[in-house]
Copies of this chain bind each other. A is one copy, B any other.
C-alpha cells in the first residue's frame, strides 16, 4: 500500500511475462529477445521504474553504502572532509550515510550500531573527544566491515588511517614564530587524550628545543576554544607572564586569544605573533588575518574514501594496515609577520 514505486513484478504483470525476464531484459541479457527488451525498457521508462536498492542490498549482501562517523559537521574542516568523501564515493557508485557523534562517546557507539545494522560496506571514523574506550571499533572489525580512521585516530589501534602530520605542522608553525625572532612562545593546547592534541604539543616542543629555547610548563596551557582562550589570556596578563608568541591548537582558540590581547592594547603581530591551526573560514576574516595550518580536509576525505573502497573491493582476510600521512602546510598571514 505504501510505496507507490513501481517494481519489476509490476512490469512483469503488466506485460504478462515473468519477473526474471524483466530483470534480464533490463540488463540487456542476450537470452532475451529484442522485442521483449524493447517492451520492457519502454514500460520501465514510462512508469519511471527505479530498481529497489534495498532489495538489491539484501540480495547481493552489499549495500553500496559507506558510513561516516564525524564529530561535528559545523566545523569547516569536517565539512570539507565530507565533501571529499562524497565526491569519491559517488563516483564509485556508493552512497554515504553521515552520523554525527557530537563529540559524545555514547552517540558514537550508537552510530556504529546503526551503521552495522544498515550493513554499510565500510566505515570512516574520526573519534569524538570523549572516546577512550574502543570496543565498538573492535566490533566493526569482528564483523569484517572495513574501517578507516581519518584525522582523529585511535592511538595503538592497528588500522588503516589517514592523518595530517600534526607534529610536523605544529613544528613548522612554532618554528615560523621563532624564525621571526620570538623567544617566549606560549602554546594553547588541546585535550591530551586525543592524539592530535599531543602531537601538536610535541611539535611545539620540538621546535623550541631545536632552537635551544627553554620549554616552560607555564607556557603550555590547556585551552581549546574561544572562551577558554579568553580566560587563559587574561590569566597570562594578570600574572604578567611575558610572552611574544602564541601557537594555538585551533583557529577559534587563536582568535579568542588575539582579540583578548588586542582589547588589552597589545599589538598583534607587533608585540605578540599568533599562529592557529586548521585553516577554515575564520582565518581570512580576522584583523589581522590569522596565520594558520591548512589541514587539507577535502583531500583527506578523498584519500580516506579511496583507501576504504580499496579495502571493500579487495577483501583480503589478513590485511596489513596502512597509514597515510598528509603534510599540512602553513599559510602565513598577517598575525605572525613582523
Residues in A lying within 8 Å of B, measured CB to CB: 2-5, 48, 50-55, 57-58, 61-63, 73-74, 76, 79-80, 82-83, 86, 90, 95-100, 102, 110, 113-114, 116-119, 139, 142-145, 226, 252, 255-256, 259, 262-263, 281-282, 284-287, 315
Closest to A75 in B: B79
User: What are the 10 closest A-B residue pairs judged by CB atoms, nearest first?
Assistant: A4-B144, A53-B117, A74-B79, A53-B118, A54-B57, A73-B79, A50-B117, A4-B143, A5-B143, A54-B58
Chain B residues with CB under 8 A of A98: 96-98
Closest chain B CB from A59 CB (angstroms):
9
Contact of A3 among B61, B100, B285 (CB under 8 A): B61
New A-B contacts (7) at CB < 8 Å, excluding given A52-B117, A52-B119, A281-B281:
A2-B144, A4-B144, A54-B119, A73-B82, A95-B114, A97-B98, A255-B285
Chain A interface helix/strand/loop/mixed: mixed
Contact A139 B48 (CB under 8 A): yes
Complexed CA–CA distance, A55 and B55 (Å) = 8
Contact A2 B285 (CB under 8 A): no
Question: Which residues of B have CB within 8 Å of A50?
Answer: 113, 116-117
| Minimum C-beta distance from A53 to chain B (A) | 4
Find out whether the CB atom of A86 lies under 8 angstroms from the CB atom of B100.
Answer: yes
Q: CB within 8 A of A282: which of B51, B262, B281? A: B281
Name A54's contact: one of B54, B74, B287 (CB within 8 Å): B54
Do A58 and B61 have beta carbons less than 8 Å apart? no
Q: How far is the CB of A98 from chain B (nearest CB, A)?
A: 5
Q: Which residue of B lies closest to A77 (CB)?
A: B74
Report whether B63 and A74 are in contact in the complex, using a CB–CB cutoff of 8 Å: no
Contact residues in B for A114 (Cβ distance below 8 Å): 95
Evaluate whether A3 and B282 lie within 8 angstroms (CB atoms) in the complex, with A58-B54, A63-B54 already known: no
Q: Cβ of A3: which chain B residues have Cβ within 8 Å of it? A: 61, 119, 143-145
A87 → chain B closest CB, angstroms: 9
Say yes or no: A48 contacts B142, CB within 8 Å: yes
Contact among B61, B97, B116 with A2 in the assembled complex (CB-CB below 8 Å): B61
Given the complex of chains A and B, what is the CA–CA distance between A82 and B78 in angstroms?
A: 14
